[in-house]
């Protein structure tokens, strides 16, 4: 069984390296994975991506052009089925743990104006309210959603199923829809 798993890992790595050549050798990616705009995506050392991830850096949509950036800090761990979409910037810090089925985006289809309601959502221009930043040592639990313009402070915990619409200070636990602070994590006395 170890030989079969080793063969699968080597095969997976060679396939992934062809579609995402700027990955470090210490990063592990489990298939299947869907990467769009890999040249706009930076991954630090020793990261892990579970199966089913969809990571999209959109440099164009319809007639629009963008300069997207997606960055993963070193030692980030993704359980699987992560969906990130960027036309602006999504930055994930170091030592971040991301549960399954998490969605992070810096944009939406349109800006919710009355004029755009007459246009089919898929035909509306993409609109970003701002970059997304996730600090170091953040734990994002399963099925959380992080929306455009949100900054999450280092050491915070995003509860399962939370919908994060506003900034989260450093060292907080948030949960709910919309996410609210449920606890301030007090650093240990030095």
Active site residues: 109
CA 78 – CA 54 distance, rounded (Å) = 11
Task: With CA atoms as reference, report the closest residue to 31 among 19, 46, 43, 45.
Answer: 19
**Cα dist from 185 to 45, 53, 91, 95, 122, whole Å:** 28, 30, 23, 18, 41
Q: What are phi and psi of 9, to 5 degrees?
A: -65, -45
Residue with tokens 């992080």: 146
Burial of residue 59, with CB atoms counted within 10 A of its CB: 0-12 exposed, 13-18 middle, 19 or more buried: middle
């Amino acid at each position: 069984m170890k030989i079969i798993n080793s063969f699968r890992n080597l095969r997976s790595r060679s396939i992934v390296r062809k579609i995402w050549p700027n990955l470090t050798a210490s990063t592990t990616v489990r298939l299947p994975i869907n990467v769009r705009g890999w040249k706009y995506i930076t991954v630090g050392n020793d990261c892990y991506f579970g199966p089913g991830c969809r990571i999209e850096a959109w440099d164009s949509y319809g007639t629009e052009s963008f300069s997207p950036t997606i960055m993963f800090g070193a030692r980030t761990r993704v359980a699987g089925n992560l969906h990130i979409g960027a036309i602006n910037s999504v930055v994930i810090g170091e030592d971040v743990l991301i549960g399954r089925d998490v969605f992070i985006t810096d944009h939406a289809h349109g800006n919710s104006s009355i004029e755009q309601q007459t246009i089919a959502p898929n035909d509306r221009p993409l609109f970003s309210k701002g970059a997304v930043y996730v600090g170091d040592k953040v734990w994002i639990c399963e099925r959380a959603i992080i929306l455009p313009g949100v900054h999450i402070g280092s050491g915070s915990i995003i509860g399962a199923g939370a919908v994060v619409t506003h900034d989260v200070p450093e060292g907080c636990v948030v949960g709910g829809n919309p996410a609210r602070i449920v606890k301030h994590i007090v650093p240990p006395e030095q």
